Amino acid sequence: MATPISEQTKTDALKIAKSIQKPGQLKEQTKLISQGIEKGIAEYKKQQKTKSREADKSRKQALKAKQRADAEHIEEIVEENKGSRFMTYLPWGLLFISWIAAAGLYLKQ
């Protein structure tokens, strides 16, 4: 499947071919050189597009992996904090019990 080559690429290739043209070189030879340069530019662009696509795919996979790791970390923290609710009420409960004991001792006298 041949991809169409843009006019800009063709113009650039022709400029390059003319800039390296040797004295006595025929127009047909210059045109063939220009076509070779066009193909080279097209192949380079295709390779860069593939590299870009792969890099984007890798970036997205890394981002998904990080999000999964963050979600697992949050779940671990939530699981750890479920048991600590008791620890939140413990000091207040002990304080309340000590007040009741103090009041009981005071009333007993």
Domain around 59: 8-17+26-104
Whole-model pTM: value is 0.55
Instruction: Return the number of other C-beta atoms located less than 10 Å from residue 97's C-beta.
Output: 10
Q: Is residue 53 part of a domain?
A: yes
pLDDT of residue 99: 94
Q: Is residue 35 part of a domain?
A: yes
The closest of 64, 43, 67, 3 to 56, measured between CA atoms, is: 64
Q: What is the pLDDT of residues 3-45, one digit of tens each?
A: 677 888 888 888 888 888 888 888 899 889 999 999 999 899 9
Q: Count how many domains the chain has.
A: 1
Q: Is residue 63 part of a domain?
A: yes
Q: Is residue 3 part of a domain?
A: no
Give the Cα separation of 11 and 17 in Å (integer). Answer: 10
Q: Is residue 91 part of a domain?
A: yes
